[in-house]
Structure 1
Amino acid sequence: MAASGDKHIKRLGLTGSIGAGKSTVTALLRERGLTVLDADEQARLVTQEPQTLEQIGAAFPGTVQGGVLNRAALAAAAFSDPERTRTLNAITHPRVRARMAALEAQGVAQGAAWIVQDIPLLFETGQEKNFDAVLLVDAPLGIRLQRVMQRSGLSREEILARDARQMPAAEKRKKATITLENGGDLEELAAQVDAALNKLGIRLS
């Protein structure tokens, strides 16, 4: 638990390009007793809220029917150009951040000394300044493409288009505190996670 009177919670950001393996790293961190908050999970919950759905439906007609969001239709509409993506982000991001802040406060109340926030677009949204350190998960493009195609059914072209909307991996590497190379097996990745936590001085319970 955090020491009594220690009011500064330390924040560890976790990010990575599509198919890099963030979910695997999240599982490893949780196994080690760390509190990990998932921005994607909170975004899914946000898009189930009536007020959010109303705004999305108004901005992207036809994507909300009977109070239910058609995620495929929204993706097609919102990611067709940067301006429409910004419109969607303006609706959802503030709500996601509010949820993440509330969950962080809950973690602090429970005695967590470090809180990990898993945020896919951490660098793209300029949030690195909010963290004491940032872990980047990366893997060769070919491996990332294979992983996403196997799990999602998306085509190579669709995945490449989504990847192109993110900051290039080389630029993310320059900004990250530590980069985890996830091109090998789970045991190798776990060893890198342990080394990273040790380097950052994160003591596990």
Structure 2
Amino acid sequence: MTSPSPPPRRLGLTGSIGAGKSTVAGLLRARGLTVLDADAEAREVTRDPAVLAEIEAAFPGVVQGGELDRAALAAAAFGDPARLAVLNAITHPRVRARMLAHEQAAAGRGEAWVVQDVPLLFEGGLDRVMDAVLVVDAPLDVRVGRVMARSGLSEEEVRARDAQQLPAGEKRRRAAFVLDNGGSLDALEAQVDAALTALGIQLPTASNQQEKSPSKS
């Protein structure tokens, strides 16, 4: 009887709004690592009609034509801890189940590490189940400018969202490695490679990468 494959180790990836976490996730995927995107999994979860029904019951009016109005849900839930807790109770267990299923698939492929890309990793206490955490950071003014350019939000709105997260300085303090994304892409890539080397993460060979389908979720 074949023994089950050991679970892969978890490399947490997080950062404050506008820091460039998605850029780092792309660099890690390009190096052959499986990156599990908590936001992408949450979007998949909220396509389930049963989940939409629960959300609509808790937040009337946020489901229109069988689809979630994410802006309306954000307005109804974010900024109110009690309301946000209701939303999290609906979605988080399902997201965790999907992430676990992806981890098990990675274990079956013999992968030693997976990356968990989680925006609110520290806020949700998930750092406790990570083997190491990478924090992506950049100066606040740089982060605010990036978010304004891509989202159309005002400076005040971006700064308000940033203020709702754990302070960047505290994230840096808790990180195994901090990736400074205030400079060039080349500089960021060098930091990513240095962190992987320091952690002893061996990147998949070309043949191993061909055997698995890259994960975008």
What letter is aligned with 2:31? R
- Counterparts of residues 192-203 of structure 1 (less than 5 Å): 192-203=191-202
TM-score normalised by the chain length of structure 1:
0.95
**Partner-residue secondary structure (3-state), 1:105:** helix
Task: Percent identity, please.
Answer: 65
Q: Within 2, Cα distance between the matches of 1:97 and 1:5?
A: 21
Q: Which amino acid aligns with 2:114?
A: I
CA RMSD of aligned residues (A): 1.3
2:150 maps to: 151
Paired residues, what number?
202
Cα distance in structure 1, aligned partners of 2:90 and 2:17: 22
Deviations 1:124-173 (A, max 9, x none): 00011111100000111000001111111111111111111110111111
Cα deviations by residue, 1:161-205 (Å, 9 ceiling, x for unpaired):
111111011111111111101100100000000000000001113
Q: Secondary structure at the match of 1:183?
A: coil
Between 23-32 and 75-84, report the one with greater CA deviation: 75-84
- The letter of the residue matching 1:199 is A
- Structure 2: which amino acid aligns with 1:137? V
Gapped regions of structure 1 (runs ≥ 5): none
Task: Note if 1:38 corresponds to 2:29.
Answer: no
Query: Which secondary structure state, in structure 1, belongs to the residue aligned with residue 11 of structure 2?
Result: strand
SS at match of 1:14: strand
Quote the Cα distance in structure 1 between the aligned partners of 2:35 and 2:117: 7
What's the TM-score, normalizing by structure 2? 0.90
Q: How many Å apart are 1:5 and its aligned residue?
A: 7.6
- 1:100-179 matches, within 5 Å, as 100-179=99-178
Mind listing any 5+ residue stretches in structure 2 that lack a counterpart? Answer: 205-217
Corresponding position of 2:208: none
Task: Report the equivalent of 2:74.
Answer: 75
Q: Runs of at least 4 residues of structure 1 off by over 4 A?
A: none
